[in-house]
Chain A
């Protein structure tokens, strides 16, 4: 079970990243759970200040950009 967290205050880029993460996880066929973290203080507690960011199992993997499903796949395995 992978826990994928999307950190972002809800701008269009964060939505795009969420979609990409979902499609990456589906293609891999793994069990996953996606959580959107929108509270700014909680985002800060990850040490992230450039949104959107992506964290897998609590580990920040990408900051400040929308990455493609292929790149996300590498982070999930």
Chain B
């Protein structure tokens, strides 16, 4: 046996063996956590894959194929208008960063050959947070306000961080020579309104297919370790007594809340348009789908449709396995998003580390997020688990902002592009900004 080459495999097998040998099957926390992770996967499969993820893949595929990246990049070139460059850099992640592996090369390109350090940093910070898949999944699973706060926070703070980086290093910027960018040739032009209509109908399908029914009442209650965190359940009231409140939530689950933890039960104001849309949502989806098919068949060549489907399939292949692992891990470690379901990590610990909205909790979430590596989109189920286990909404946003923008591996690549000092400054800025936005968000939405 060639021990020199085989020792890694031996080590691996020994580790797996030891893990199996001491597998804590039978301990209630472990068995419970395994159950939780399977429950969570089932919930994702039932609630999120068909109506949310599948349309999102088609949209992402369409963006990567039909939106001309070259036309966006020309605003980030060396001779671009500086003010415009910041604006474009901060929002162009929606179009340019559909795959997380493209963010770093684009950053390096904008920095070295294009508009410079400021716009490049703005792009680097906002890109991963505002790509379509991330926005859709965040809004769908973590709630609309967190989804919107994530996108808006990323755009706003990316400009601030970009400007700060530019001011700190403005002397170097002035002496930089710029190389010529190589750009893909522009794709066949279709009138803008056709493309706009095409994207609008896809987004419409996604929105209406996921139109959720608003509940009749909203119960606010305290839970669980130490009663530190407030939870909300929205749905139809089943029964209400002194001892407990039973509520059927909008996704069809029954919750029972002990009377002494209950803080408030309020009627949800019904909006008639909202209800109407809910009632005719499938009709709207079918109409949009019909219009969409006509557009695709009428305006697109066979080759284009092929490319679009290939890009969509590429995203699905790339992201689904990662997301499955992320959901399994999150369910195992943190349990389902409900105070009654714990994973391996006690909710008490989470609550102690990132509960509430203190500076410490926000800072902890930012630092942890900055160094941790999140595979594409897995930040969403992980955060959902953390929120369910008692994480405050402020720290959640802090982690969402600092997390996907940075990781230890990406820091190493950044260091090779712009040197140790600039990387350190950037990392500190990200952590500070994420902490501040978490504090603000937590104070408003608590």
Contact = CB atoms under 8 A, between A and B. Distances in A.
22 contacts: A9-B105, A12-B318, A13-B101, A40-B108, A40-B413, A40-B416, A43-B105, A44-B105, A44-B112, A44-B179, A47-B182, A48-B109, A49-B108, A49-B110, A49-B113, A49-B114, A50-B69, A50-B73, A50-B105, A51-B101, A51-B102, A62-B184
Interface in B249-275: none
Interface in A55-77: 60, 62-65
Given A40-B413, A44-B108, A65 B184 contact: yes
Nearest to A14: B101
B417 interface: yes
Nearest to B417: A40
Contacts of B413: 40
B182 A46 contact: yes
Nearest to B310: A66
A13 B230 CA distance: 45
Contacts of B416: 39-41
Contact of A47 (B73, B104, B106, B113): B113
Interface of A: 9-13, 39-41, 43-51, 53, 60, 62-65
Main secondary structure of the interface of B (DSSP, over half): helix
B24 interface: no
B70 to A, nearest CB: 8
B181 interface: yes
Interface in B64-119: 69, 73, 99, 101-102, 104-106, 108-110, 112-114
B104 A9 contact: yes
A49 to B, nearest CB: 2
Contacts of B417: 40-41
Q: What 5 pairs across the A-B complex have the smallest Cβ distances?
A: A49-B109, A11-B101, A47-B182, A64-B184, A63-B184
A11 B99 contact: yes
B104 A13 contact: no
Which one of B73, B102, B112, B413 has the highest number of Cβ atoms from chain A below 10 Å of its Cβ?
B102
Range of interface residues on B (Cβ < 8 Å): 20 to 34
A40 B416 CA distance: 8
A55 B441 CA distance: 47
A40 B110 CA distance: 13
Contacts of A60: 182
Contacts of A50: 69, 73, 102, 105-106, 109, 183-184
Contact of A49 (B101, B106, B317, B318): B106
A47 B73 CA distance: 13
A64 B179 contact: no
B180 interface: yes
B314 interface: yes
A60 to B, nearest CB: 5
A65 B99 CA distance: 12
Contacts of B101: 9-11, 13, 51
B184 A44 contact: no
Contact of A13 (B114, B180, B314): B314
Contacts of A12: 314, 317-318
A12 to B, nearest CB: 6
A49 B181 CA distance: 8
Nearest to B111: A44
A45 B113 CA distance: 10
Interface in B124-183: 179-183
Interface string B180-199: 11111000000000000000
Contacts of B182: 46-49, 53, 60, 63
B108 A41 contact: yes
A49 B184 contact: no
Contacts of B69: 50, 64
A10 B174 CA distance: 33
